[in-house]
Amino acid sequence: MLEGESGKGTQKAMELLVAIGDAYDAPKMIPISRAHAASSGQEGDLYFVELLADGGARCKVPTSTNPVYDIPYFHRTFEGIPEDEAAVARRVMEAYRRVGAILSWSCLPYLSENIPLYGETVAFSESSATPYVNSVIGATTNREAAQSALASGVIGKTPLYGLHIKENRKGTHLVKVEATLKDEFDYTLLGYYVGKRLGYGIPVLTGLVKRPSTEELINFCAMSNVSGAISMFHMPGFTVETSTVEEAFQGGKPQDTMTVSNRDLENACEELQTTSGKIDFVMLGCPHYTLRQIEQAAKLLKGKKIRAGVGFWICTSGTTRLLAERNGYVQTIERAGGHVVVDTCIDEPCWIAYRGMTGMTDSPKCAYYRRFKEAMVGRLADCVEAAVKGRHQ
Amino acid sequence: MKSHEVTLKCHKIVGGYGEGQALVSHEPICFYLTDPKTGIVREKGHELAGKSVAGKVLVFPSGKASSVVQIDGLFKLAQHNVAPKALIVKDVETVLVVSAFIAKIPLVDRMEKDPFQAIHTGTMIKVDAEKGKVMLIMRE
């Protein structure tokens, strides 16, 4: 394939996998069963996917895609989206279609569109996807980039290194959770705090008193892999690979131990607020909201009106919105003046109308990337209340 | 001023040749948090905040942040001709390999001496990734 006998696109994909293999001294390539490319409407992404598509490459195994933005919807709704950036997004989405990807445009493909099973070897990029697939599902993936995952989807292989090797999946740090975790926002803060403190490693979390929900796990994954580079973790008894702490460390000792108190999470939350008072918009769904989260938002908004001039946005997948519509949640949210949008990431040019404005979100990841002028971060209920009042605290 | 060259072995990850003044960061770098038109690091509180990576041989421990933004960040710097000329790292990870591959910037690791001991900001450096060599121009 390196000689180009399978076409130029396949050759480029193979070259990239070889460079990665070299970086890790991988002894060989191993087959994968599926991939998820964290596509984005950005130029680096465009360059590589077009290189492959134009070179005739096609995905060999199911390969799903991350959100870009709902182009027809946003261009109908907003003025001033820069045409050059829109053109990039359009070309990216078209090129992923040409390489034969599953056009999921979702950052939670592991919930509906492309679901790995326990023990599968896969190549999943995207902040929440990598740790979720490793830790919660127990399939194996490295912390892939969109391009390495796409290259693996095209070749059907990945270099054998990192988390595909059992001994590299053992815990590195013991994290004793003393904080009370009430809801998914607490798991957001926990992920943010643990990622920031560790930077890199495989934390083993103890002290959890009840089984975390899907949403709690998603948030922990997304935040710890953004404030740090946490590709995997163990919650012995709750995540699939380990039922005891000893097992999680594969008989070894932790490199370090840390505790997380209620105070630590309060401070982490405090650190995320750059302002208080008036807001211009609320943005939810980073990572994409699940059906249950949309239901919660609908319940909180029922019979209420979002203050005039305040934008209220929930990002989700096309699959989830379909169900949310069927269940009437979308209608309730729209009656209150909010919007549920599909195929869209918070970090896209379609949000230009809010550039330089003050927003509130339940996601530190959103606040970090969205280049808000000022940001407030709080739980969903507080975001809804702020949207209704037009201000927070 | 007299100078001599010190050659150190390294391990090629992404091939190519680049030379320039060293810019050393002890903190991991997210290329998205640099200005794509000037190469100036704009991450608040970062050790390199306000400094430009343009044309430099960047010495840093590792990359950080989500893959999407990291790769696009370095790609944009390359498009505007303000990317580093070469990257010398301690801990390489997949996202950084992809970033350098896409931006076509030589990337090496495993220098035979600790890069943070051997290299200081301002040192002239040539990186020949193909040959697995880093050359430091030492002034006397």
Residues A249 and A313 in one domain: no
Residues A83 and A158 in one domain: yes
- Does any domain span residue A68? yes
B19/B124 Cα distance (integer angstroms): 7
- Does any domain span residue A2? no
Chain A with chain B: Cβ pairs closer than 8 A: 91
Tell me if residue A157 falls in helix, strand or coil.
strand
B62 in reach of chain A (CB within 8 A): yes
- Does any domain span residue A76? yes
Average pLDDT (A104-132) is 97
Residues A380 and A344 in one domain: yes
pLDDT at site A350:
92
pLDDT at site B92:
87
B129 in reach of chain A (CB within 8 A): no
Residues A233 and A299 in one domain: no
Residues A182 and A235 in one domain: yes
- Does any domain span residue A258? yes
The 8 Å CB, 24+ separation contacts for A168-171 are: A169/A134, A169/A140, A169/A202, A169/A232, A169/A241, A170/A202, A170/A248, A170/A249, A170/A250, A170/A252, A171/A202, A171/A203, A171/A204, A171/A234, A171/A245, A171/A248, A171/A249, A171/A250, A171/A254
- Does any domain span residue A287? yes
pLDDT at A388 over 90: yes
pLDDT at site B2:
81
Residues A237 and A368 in one domain: no
Q: What parts of chain B have a pLDDT lower than 50?
A: none
Q: Determine, for residues A23 and B94 on separate chains, whether the beta-carbon distance falls below 8 Å.
A: yes
B72 in reach of chain A (CB within 8 A): yes
Chain B nearest C-alpha distance from A23 (Å): 5
Residue A5 structure tokens:
């006998």
Q: Give the distance from CA A358 to its chain's centroid.
A: 23
Q: Determine, for residues B64 and A16 on separate chains, whether the beta-carbon distance falls below 8 Å.
A: no
Residues A44 and A152 in one domain: yes
pLDDT at site B71:
87
- Does any domain span residue A342? yes
A375 CB neighbour count, 10 Å cutoff: 22
pLDDT by residue (tens digit) across A320-330? 999 999 999 99
Q: Determine, for residues B94 and A225 on separate chains, whether the beta-carbon distance falls below 8 Å.
A: no
pTM to 2 decimal places: 0.92
pLDDT at site A90:
96
> Which of A113, A137, A166 is at the close of a domain?
A166
The reply to whether omega before A287 is within 30° of 0 (cis) is: yes
How does residue A365 score in pLDDT terms, banded at 50, 70 and 90?
confident
| Contacting residues of A for B14, CB less than 8 Å apart | 19
> Which of A166, A187, A206 is at the close of a domain?
A166
pLDDT at site A113:
96
pLDDT at site A371:
60
Nearest to A47 among B75, B91, B94 (CB): B75
Residues A72 and A162 in one domain: yes
pLDDT at site A1:
65
Tell me if residue A230 falls in helix, strand or coil.
coil
| Contacting residues of A for B28, CB less than 8 Å apart | 199
B43 in reach of chain A (CB within 8 A): no
Cβ within 8 Å of residue A227, ≥6 positions away:
A191, A192, A193, A195, A196, A364
Q: Determine, for residues B68 and A199 on separate chains, whether the beta-carbon distance falls below 8 Å.
A: no
A301/A318 Cα distance (integer angstroms): 21
Place of tokens 């590299």: A168
Nearest to B71 among A20, A44, A225 (CB): A44
Place of tokens 């027809």: A72
Angle, vertex CA A123, rays to CA A140 and CA A199, nearest 5: 70
Q: Determine, for residues A22 and B79 on separate chains, whether the beta-carbon distance falls below 8 Å.
A: no
The domain in which residue A215 lies consists of: 170-270
B14 in reach of chain A (CB within 8 A): yes
- Best CA proximity match to B99, nearest among B84, B121, B119, B118: B84
Residues A34 and A157 in one domain: yes
pLDDT by residue (tens digit) across A132-180? 999 999 999 999 999 999 999 999 999 999 999 999 999 999 999 999 9
Domain boundaries, chain B: 3-139
Percent of chain A surpassing pLDDT 70: 99
Q: Determine, for residues B68 and A45 on separate chains, whether the beta-carbon distance falls below 8 Å.
A: yes
For B43, the closest chain A residue by CA position comes to A368
> Which of A142, A166, A190 is at the close of a domain?
A166
Q: Determine, for residues A19 and B99 on separate chains, whether the beta-carbon distance falls below 8 Å.
A: no
A93/A98 Cα distance (integer angstroms): 9
| Contacting residues of B for A22, CB less than 8 Å apart | 12-13
- Best CA proximity match to A148, nearest among B92, B95, B9, B105: B95
Catalytic option among B25, B62, B66, B67: B66
Place of tokens 């798991």: A187
**How many structural domains is chain A composed of?**
3
More confident residue, A287 or B32: A287
pLDDT at site B35:
95
Q: Determine, for residues A147 and B71 on separate chains, whether the beta-carbon distance falls below 8 Å.
A: yes
pLDDT at site A324:
98
A114/A164 Cα distance (integer angstroms): 19
List the CATH number of the domain containing A277: 3.30.499.10
- Residue B66 among the catalytic residues: yes
pLDDT at site A240:
95
A123/A56 Cα distance (integer angstroms): 21
**CB A64 within 8 Å of CB A52:** no
Chain B nearest C-alpha distance from A9 (Å): 14
Residues A376 and A260 in one domain: no
Percent of chain A surpassing pLDDT 90: 88
B12 in reach of chain A (CB within 8 A): yes
B66 in reach of chain A (CB within 8 A): yes
Chain A nearest C-alpha distance from B97 (Å): 6
CATH assignment, B3-139:
3.50.30.10
